[in-house]
Amino acid sequence: MGKGLINEIQVHQQSEEWWELLEENEYQMNQPLSIVVEILSNLEILNHQLITTSDIPAMLEFLETTLGKELEGWAKWKAYMDSVNWIERAHELRGNQYYCT
């Protein structure tokens, strides 16, 4: 593994730790923290959500949503998630025992 790179297991474990630290995990979509919580919640169960490195650019774009544009960020995020072929993704990950397919 190269310097600065982590695998899906490490991301999953760290996300679980951060999730446990949240005092509140529900925010309105127009609140900036709702975006952080959404991404963290996906990473925290990435092996069930079938999240892979191919999703990271969309996650980063969502996290970089400009303040005051949260609803637009949510719309783009939902459009991205709707565009993923989850059946194909599950098929691709079928051989990876870490993912629940």
Per-residue pLDDT of the chain (101 residues; tens, 9 = 90+): 455 588 888 999 999 999 998 877 789 999 999 999 999 999 999 999 999 999 999 999 999 999 999 999 999 999 999 999 999 999 999 999 999 87
In 1-101, the DSSP E strands lie at none
Q: What is the pTM of this model?
A: 0.86
State pLDDT tens for residues 48-76.
Answer: 999 999 999 999 999 999 999 999 999 99
Q: pLDDT at position 1, please?
A: 47
Measured distance CA(4)–CA(47) in Å, rounded: 21
Please tell me what DSSP assigns to residue 65. Answer: P
Among 68, 73, 8, CA closest to 38: 73
Task: Classify burial at 94, counting beta carbons within 10 Å of its beta carbon; exposed 0-12, middle 13-18, buried 19 or more.
Answer: exposed
Q: pLDDT at position 23, please?
A: 79
